[in-house]
Amino acid sequence: MAQLEYSEFQAAMLDEDKRRRKAAKIVAVLGHFLGRDEDVLSGLTVADIGCSAGFIADELANAGAARTFGVDIDVPGLRKASARFGERVTFVCADGTALPFPDGSIDVLVFNHIYEHVVDPDAIMAEMRRVLSDEGVLYLGLGNRLGIMEPHYRLPFLSYLPPALADRYVRLSGRADSYYERYRTRRGLRRMARGLRVWDYTFPVLATPAAFAGSELFPGVIGRVAEGVLSRLPRAVLRALLPVVPTYLWVAAKSTRRPAGRRLPQPPDPVQTL
């Protein structure tokens, strides 16, 4: 299984600057949802599911978490993570379908761009619901099958194809021997999140990237233009674009809690799960 040493052949997992920028965005989104501007995770038990080399888990610890766990089956990545961050983060080699935590014991879970790599994402979601505390929150970074440019291999429409054709496509491109990632559409992701109340932060982050440390989404001038346009588009237009947005940023909870942060030009929308 490629996941057992994913960090060894996906160099992006070892790109520290990029991973820490992603972590800053995650912390900022969680902070808005929780209504916390500083020490966002203070007093909370946090787990990064699919932590690989540990950069995001380390940033979660730096955000004030009382205890931080990093969970993965990527053994080389865990070795690197433990060597660097083991004093602040407890790293655990475990399958996401059998998380080594008691029921309701984790206050914040992060599952960032992981589901497409695993065999049974529904089973992992069920486990995360099990270990999430009653008032806990789950951050979900989710790629969309209908995003035009596949993010791992930078090949257009790759995720649209059936497995046999996708394998042939990546081989012909010279970028991999096979394509094992399996994305879902927005409808499939809504089904995957059943049993949770979900808030969509995709457009809030895109419309106000500075507020969410998300400026890497649209750098430079492009970012300023995108921010100006998206912050003014009617909600109906944004909702019409949702099926083809390449990445969704969701925050989910078991409870009826709502985003507690300041008002935004494009506020988070509730997601109807299936």
Residue 224: in which H helix or E strand, if any? helix 220-230
Mean pLDDT of 47-53: 95
SS3 call for 184: strand
- Per-residue pLDDT at 78: 95
By residue count, the chain amounts to: 274
156: which strand partners? Answer: 149
In a 13 Å sphere around the CA of 199, the CA atoms on its Cβ side amount to 24
220: pLDDT strictly greater than 60: no
Note if the pTM is more than 0.85.
Answer: yes
Rounded to an integer, what distance in angstroms lies between the CA atom of residue 155 and that of residue 107? 37
Structure tokens, 25: 């965005």
What average pLDDT is seen over the chain? 91
Domain boundaries, the chain: 2-145+183-252
Please state, in angstroms and rounded to a whole number, the distance separating the CA atoms of residues 144 and 250: 13
Residue with tokens 């985003």, as numbered in its chain: 259
Tokens, residue 15:
């790109």
Q: What is the pLDDT of residue 221?
A: 47
**Stretch 50-66: mean pLDDT, rounded?**
96
Architecture in CATH of 2-145+183-252? 3-Layer(aba) Sandwich (3.40)
Helix, strand, or coil (residue 123): helix
